[in-house]
Structure 1
């Protein structure tokens, strides 16, 4: 699935002061990414505050982004949870005609065994009308999908095409790269490790910071995939301060503060998240100034 090689971005959901969706800001964000090198867009992931977006709002987001995108970039939709039956029901009842693949998070809170994780994704794979990108993020789910479980799923189901690995664990990435089927994609979900994984044979990244700095970030990933380490690391080192800052309080408050500084959207988030502190906002403005983005 070459359309998912490179830089995908986990879009925020912009909000107005009253916390309704700010569709004008969303249009700016989507067009900004289309025009600056992003390879595909991810809707309703963690960074999109999917847990506080209603089912109706989610469908509105899909329709709006698809319209603005107008088939320019592939679209990936987050459809996951810790209730397998509910995930299957969402797949069966959502209009996925404009969607190219599903990003499905490993079950959270319940802490299933590895066999439980396998059976969860087996059930989803058997009904999904779209290719599936697995999503392992143990820092949020409190449950790590081990490489052997990911590889087992990759070997058993043709429509499971990739994993977004976000465990911030180099050893686990390398195990996946070493043992994966030939065409299975290993996608970084860790912005700070994305270049290292691309250089090691990964297929790119689903990024948070990439949506704010798509030209620089996507160029770095392309250089990494092409094995041009020296040129790629020059960009990586430039981006290190801003990448660290956006995760220093919470995600997506950090990236929303960056996008506010770039005058693309506002920094409003829905509870239980809170906006970035004034200190973080000022630090972000300084980091952007260092990048020539002030």
Structure 2
């Protein structure tokens, strides 16, 4: 059984203006997501700015999330690194905290061969019994999980159950689903490709968009899985302009600004990220108003 089906939110981490974690606002954002139908909380991923946190701080945020969610929906914690030992540590400690799954990005900067990826994910899987979703986002990491590699890992390692596919390469995803006969939990990692991924057998999305419109993102997936492809497609296309705005600058700069406009955070990001360009911010705000989000 999949860790979750539907829309999982790649949750922001609210910061105070001094860049410390705002735990009160984190709880409010979590409650908002669950109340609006989000199917899973993904904490300390790319959107959560985990790469700017110490391991201790990251694990504190994961624990705060697990405690506050209190089993209402599955919690999946980011646990990847460009150092296998660090990824193993994060996986082990996150599992001890009580997460329902791990989202493990490929090694970045130093990257890895395909054989290196097999070893990396296998070593992390040995650290805990928590199910693992591999995270393939070559545009950010410079490292691509080839379909044959992902298929090998899913077939040979029991706790590696899924993949968040953000390569943007639909042909690659189709090949993966063919090689695994669909026996892998596939999630879209790109909000503009939710429906195409679902059409190939996807279970849902791990979504930035869901921060801003959780009900509607849930409905894109729920409608498709219920057989209402027309409604799913219409919702996907309705929010394309907003999706584009949310990625007009490096994630999570725009989504932090959007959530600040909604009153859920200060919009503060940690360096090297910077405040959203005023022209981009104004355009996004106008799109949000047009969609009656503001």
Per the shorter chain, which TM-score range?
over 0.9
Change (3 A) 1:182 1:158: farther
Asked if the contact 1:155/1:181 (under 8 Å) is kept, the reply is no
* Alignment match, 1:245: 245
1:201 equivalent to 2:206? Answer: no
The normalised TM-score by structure 2 is 0.96
Q: 2:127 matched to which residue of 1?
A: 127
Contact 1:15 1:22 in 2 (8 A): yes
Number of the residue aligned with 1:264: 264
- 2:187 corresponding residue in structure 1: 187
Deviations 1:262-293 (A, max 9, x none): 11112110000001111122112111111111
Q: What does 1:36-55 align with in structure 2 at a 5 Å threshold?
A: 36-55=36-55
- TM-score, length-scaled by structure 1: 0.96
- CA-to-aligned-CA distance 1:96-137 (integer Å, 9 cap, x gap): 342001111111111321111111111112222211111111
Return the offset for 1:157: 0.9
Distance in 2, Cα, partners of 1:93 & 1:249: 32
Partner Cα separation in structure 2 for residue 92 and residue 239 of structure 1: 37
**Bigger shift: 9-18 or 227-236?**
227-236
1:2–1:88 CA distance, 2 compared to 1 (3 A): closer
CA distance in 2, matches of 1:275, 1:238: 27
**Residues 105-116 of structure 1 mapped to structure 2, 5 A cutoff:** 105-116=105-116
- Whether 1:277 aligns to 2:277 is yes
Report the aligned-residue RMSD.
1.4
Cα distance in 1 for residues equivalent to 2:286 and 2:120: 45
Match of 1:80 in 2: 80
How big is the shift at 1:244?
Answer: 0.3
1:160 aligns with 2:160: yes
Rounded Cα–Cα distance in structure 2 between residues aligned with 1:242 and 1:207: 13
Deviates further, 58-67 or 45-54: 58-67
C-alpha deviation, 1:223, in angstroms: 1.4
Superposition deviation, residue 15 in structure 1: 0.9
Tell me, in whole angstroms, the C-alpha distance in 1 between the residues paired with 2:19 and 2:166: 28
Q: Which runs of 5+ in 1 are unaligned?
A: none
The answer to whether the aligner puts 1:15 opposite 2:15 as a matched pair is: yes
Q: For the residues of structure 1 that align with 2:183 and 2:96, how far apart are their CA atoms? A: 24
Structure 2 unaligned spans of 5+? none
Q: Which deviates more, 152-161 or 1-10?
A: 1-10
